[in-house]
Amino acid sequence: MLDERMLIERLISLMPRSPRQANTPFESDSEILEFNGGHLLVNVDSFSEEDLLIDKNPETLGYNIAAAALSDIYASGGEPVYYAHSLTINDLFTEKYIERFYKGIAKVLKKADASFIGGDWAKERHGSAVPYF
């Protein structure tokens, strides 16, 4: 099994780094970028079964995912303004489930006074994700 920290360190050594990045790798829960005389915090989270989030109630799942993503911004000293995500669904996701999932996200965004700005959707078929339109 891959050691996550070692893999990230290896990838960091291969990728160009912005001189505007104010934090060092593993320093904070969000990337902190110098921006227009201040700082912009960016967070990209992914969630899977290994996170053990309860998925029986789609509203609770959406709420927990959004809260976890925004908490990284708060933990880094920022205030969430925008929220985006990508979602991979399978045939078990019904239209009603997805709608309730987004209602959970909306509850968190309203509490945080943050706006949803979009993202990406994919539909999983036979173990691989393909664009879903």
CA 29 – CA 31 distance, rounded (Å) = 7
Is residue 108 within a helix (H) or strand (E), and if so which, with residue range? helix 95-112
Q: Which domain holds residue 21?
A: 1-42
Query: Is the Cβ–Cβ distance between 78 and 41 less than 8 Å?
Result: yes
Structure tokens at 1: 């099994």
Read off the pLDDT of each residue in 12-30 and give the average, rounded to a whole number.
88
- Residue-wise pLDDT tens digits, 32-50: 999 999 999 988 776 656 5
Phi and psi at residue 62, to the nearest 5°? -60, -45
The confidence band for 126, taking pLDDT boundaries of 50, 70 and 90, is: low
Are 34 and 52 in the same domain? no
pTM of the model: 0.78
On the question of pLDDT at 55 being above 70, the answer is: no
Are 49 and 111 in the same domain? yes
Residue closest to 54 by CA, chosen among 44, 45, 67, 43: 67
Are 82 and 97 in the same domain? yes
Are 28 and 91 in the same domain? no
